[in-house]
Structures are given as C-alpha cells and as structure tokens.
Chains A and B, each alone.
Chain A
Amino acid sequence: DVKVTQSSRYLVKRTGEKVFLECVQDMDHENMFWYRQDPGLGLRLIYFSYDVKMKEKGDIPEGYSVSREKKERFSLILESASTNQTSMYLCASSSYSTKNIQYFGAGTRLSVL
C-alpha cells in the first residue's frame, strides 16, 4: 500500500513564525503536491513537484515556498505565518504508473494565532 506520511496532525504556531510542514512518501513517486483545504473551497493546490529539486506554483502559492531535496520528501514552508494561513494542509503523491491517481496523507491542521 502507498503510504504518505505528514509529520504532524495538529500544529499551533504564532504569527510571524517560520513553519515547516513535512511530507514523506514510500512508493518512489515522481510527483508530490501540497494542498490547503478550507470549508466551501475544496482543495486548492499550493505547490507541486515533478522531480527532485523541481517545483511549480499551483493556484495559491503566495506566502508559501517548498523544498524537495530528496525524491521521497516534500516540505511546505510558511516563511512568516499569518492568521489567514490557518487551515488543513494535505500532501499527496502520484506516479506516471498510477495514472494521475493521487494518494494523500492524513493532513496537518495548522492554527496560526
């Protein structure tokens, strides 16, 4: 089974803090994605990566950056957390062989106070 692991289920941070959300997948997938989920808005793509050290902006990249130094790990960085970044963050991975099917982690619920 594909396993996508997000380092924290719940996180509370203060405004202005630098926040790292980590995601690891164990299936050697090429593609990795970060979404945020807000009520009534569904999932919105923040950043994605098709390969190591490669990143592409999604629909809402402002205020975020990412890092992919290893194939299995994709990190989402909030350089200076703000209250409007309070949300559920979901990581996913996929492969050419999975035919676009994305496999998701359990999510990190981030609260910025």
Chain B
Amino acid sequence: AQKVTQAQTEISVVEKEDVTLDCVYETRDTTYYLFWYKQPPSGELVFLIRRNSFDEQNEISGRYSWNFQKSTSSFNFTITASQVVDSAVYFCALSESTDYKLSFGAGTTVTVRA
C-alpha cells in the first residue's frame, strides 16, 4: 500500500514571505517516484517536479526548492519570496516503479496576500 500525507490543509502568507509545504509518504518499494503538482484557480494541475528514490539531491528552480529526505520519508516544497500568483492548491504524489498510477495527498491550499 502507498500513502501520501499532506498535513497542512491551508497556509496563508503575506507576499514575499517564504512558505514550506510538507509531504510525508509511505511505501514498501525501494524504487519509487515523488511528484509535486500545482492547481491554480483555473483548475488544471500543472506538473512541477519528479524525483526518483535514488536521487536525494535537493533541487532548486527559481523561487521553488525541494528537500527530499529518505530517512524521514519526506519530500518538502518551499516557495521563497512568495507572490500572489503562487496562490493555488499544491499536491504531492507518489508512484511505485512497477506502476504508472499516482497516489495523491489531500493537497495544501496556499493563499498569498498582497
């Protein structure tokens, strides 16, 4: 069985603050993939990042960064210097190597106030 937990339901910040979204996962597989998606108010999920279980190197893309720690089964996402356009629902997801399905967390709603 696989499971993804996003404990934060909603986060509200003021523009330019940093915000970190937590994601904790469970899997028995040694090979798996982790994802983050963004769902803006328009509704379409937008792919942000994919990370495989053998690559624990943290990644930075502009104002976005991801911290993958196998020891704590976490794949956290940080938005630095948040902007109003970052307001969205963010989903963490997991798939196992033998499967093309994704298991999604419940999502975290981020509201950035001007």
A-to-B contact residues, CB < 8 Å? 9, 31, 33, 35, 40-45, 48, 50, 58, 88, 90, 92, 94, 99-107, 109
B: interface residue count bin: 20 to 34
Contact count A vs B, C-beta below 8 Å: 53
| Set A45, A50, A94, A106: member contacting B42, Cβ < 8 A | A106
Given A101-B35, A101-B50, A105-B44: A42 and B102 interface contact (C-beta under 8 Å) = no
**Dominant secondary structure of chain B at its interface with chain A:** loop
Q: Is the CB of A107 within 8 A of B44?
A: yes
Q: Which residues does chain B contribute within 8 Å of A50, judged by CB atoms?
A: 100
Given contacts A33-B101, A103-B47, A107-B43, 18 further A-B contacts (CB under 8 A): A9-B43, A41-B106, A42-B91, A42-B104, A42-B105, A43-B91, A43-B104, A45-B101, A48-B100, A48-B101, A50-B100, A92-B45, A100-B50, A100-B95, A100-B102, A101-B47, A102-B47, A104-B45
Q: Which residues does chain B contribute within 8 Å of A45, judged by CB atoms?
A: 101-102
**Dominant secondary structure of chain A at its interface with chain B:** strand
Q: Which residues does chain B contribute within 8 Å of A43, judged by CB atoms?
A: 91, 102, 104
